[in-house]
Amino acid sequence: MGMITGAEILIKALEYQEVETAFGIPGGAILPAYDPLIDAGFRHILARHEQGAGHMAEGYAWATGKVGVAIATSGPGATNLVTPLADALMDSVPIVAITGQVPTHAVGNDAFQEAHTTGITMPATKHNYFVTHAEEIAQTVAEAFHLASTGRPGPVLVDIPKDVLNARVPWRDPEPVAMPGYRPTTSPHPRRIREAIRLIESAERPVLYVGGGIIKAGGSEALAAFARMTNMPVITTLMGRGAISDHNPNTLGMPGMHGLYAATTAMQKADLLVAIGVRFDDRVTGDPDAFAPFAKVIHADIDPAEIGKVRAPEVPIVGDARLILEAMCERWGDTPTPELEKWWTTIRTWQERHPLRFDQQVDGPLKPQHVISRLRDRADDDAIVVSGVGQHQMWASQYWRFDQPRHWINSGGLGTMGFAVPAAIGAKAGMPDQQVIAVDGDGCFQMTVQELITAAYERIPIKVALFNNAAHGMVRQWQRLFYNERFSASDLGQQLPDYPKLAESMGCAGLRATRVDEVDHVIETMLEIDDRPVVAEFVVDRDEMVFPMVPAGGSNDIVLNGPEDL
């Protein structure tokens, strides 16, 4: 093959990795790559802000299980990607970010739009690269995709100076990736599996505590099988929703700060936690010194750094979550199902005494829980739900029913406001035949609302259920509970902006419901519109709070089921 530019090699390298969609914004340093991009064998979606492009790549990766790709220029383009990179790192989302850089001779001279991209993003990525020779581009891209998608998935950044993109060199197919020092352990040690099974056999109050690692590993079928064999209660973290069907009789739902009472209390009273693909997040454990005081712990994870970080386990298992569960199923074999009737009776009593509840009066203000429940009942069974961060995120997790993995997408670790709309665009771009619904709050929505233009222009018909309580709702809830109702800087204003008109100005349909009797019609209309994006605003009770609640840093022994428990 003849000589081609580094930019052409970059695009060819992305094609070599079977990229189907990329999200980005051109600029000076990355512009050489955008010339061959016009003829690329994959789709490029032009975002309106690099943060939006990064979250689109995340949503795409979440929904498809493939590596998401974001492209940006140097300086502010690259720094605008930092938030989605950090978000992807916290939530183990496989994305590859390609950034342009000033020419190599100008690096370190404070050139126009120069930023130390690799230095800035080092703590926000699984790994990053600074490419100095065009001959290295294809192999570097191959390594980046390998790193992003293997072991514990995560974001990888490749920074390429403009002169490297312009240099002319021959194309060479990347070599098979072999990286000394990077060999993730996937198969669990048989001795650890035996030790784990012995603990499970002897437990009287066991709990399967599972998270996003199950979904990343494709371990849902193995999880359901092991739960059936052992009859253990299954608790799914915020990131693990959908790892097992909410209609499975063993499922207790989400635990933690705003988790279901029975799930949180079962963990607290358990004598064994079988933790798989979780990291003992503070939103789950509350006070770690008071968390599950009676429990022995089996902790299984692909990332050995997570094991023992918060809670020292009796049995540590390093490996792929699916392979671990399959090994446990094989080891369990024909072992009789444990007698856990007493434990299940206790749990069912908690469920009966402390169900989720809200009070929707026919002539009263709209309750967000009512809207989510009605939307859930009318949406497609396989709808992908993408959430922002805050109260609406918790209500969506509590009241929706997820029956399969990769149908619940949200920012759990970093808690990034503005995540929902661009992530929904990415999810819909990756799964065009599925209904994609963004559940967002007015505060989150305003942070990345410009990406509605992207959705309209690119004909990506997402649906946005916008909960307008004229406030940063979770901030307001905490101010009400813990700051003597001193509502400092949490009021957003009820009429600013006019959301349906704003949506229409961006090429979307705009709807609004302010009363209970309008909700069903607005939902049905929103779900029927499929030729353009649609924003349905629901003006909800600004004083509604999320319960159950464990006060931050408190013990999970104290679960507030409502204001009356304060």
Active-site residue numbers? 50, 112-113, 162, 474
Q: Tell me, rounded to whole angstroms, the distance of Cα 540 from its chain centroid.
A: 25
SS3 376: helix
Q: Are 186 and 319 in contact (CB under 8 A)?
A: yes
Are the beta carbons of 397 and 387 closer than 8 angstroms? yes
How far apart are alpha carbons 119 and 553 in whole angstroms? 33
Give how far Cα 323 sits from Cα of 112, 159, 301, 343, 519, Å: 50, 35, 11, 28, 45
292, 271 Cβ separation under 8 angstroms: no
Q: Where does residue 247 fall: left (phi above 0), alpha (psi -120 to 50 degrees), or beta otherwise? A: alpha
β-pairing, 408-409 vs 384-387, is: parallel
What are the distances in angstroms from CA 57 to CA 65, 86, 96, 256, 476? 11, 13, 8, 29, 31
CA 140 to mean position of chain CA atoms: 26
Widest CA span of the chain, in angstroms?
Answer: 75
Q: How many C-beta atoms surround the C-beta of residue 557 within 10 A?
A: 15
Structure token pair of residue 271: 């004598």
Could you give the CA distance from residue 101 to residue 107 in angstroms, rounded to a whole number?
Answer: 8
CA distances from 496 to 48, 453, 463, 488 (A): 22, 19, 21, 18
User: How would you classify the pairing of strands 3-5 and 168-170?
Assistant: antiparallel
CA 403/CA 241 separation, integer angstroms:
9
CA dist 291 and 42 (Å) reads 48
Angle between helices 190-202 and 321-332 in degrees, nearest 10: 60
Helices (H), 150-189: 162-166
Give me the phi and psi of 68, to 5 degrees please: -85, 150
State the CB neighbour count (10 A cutoff) for residue 484.
7
Decide the pairing of beta strands 534-539 and 509-513.
parallel
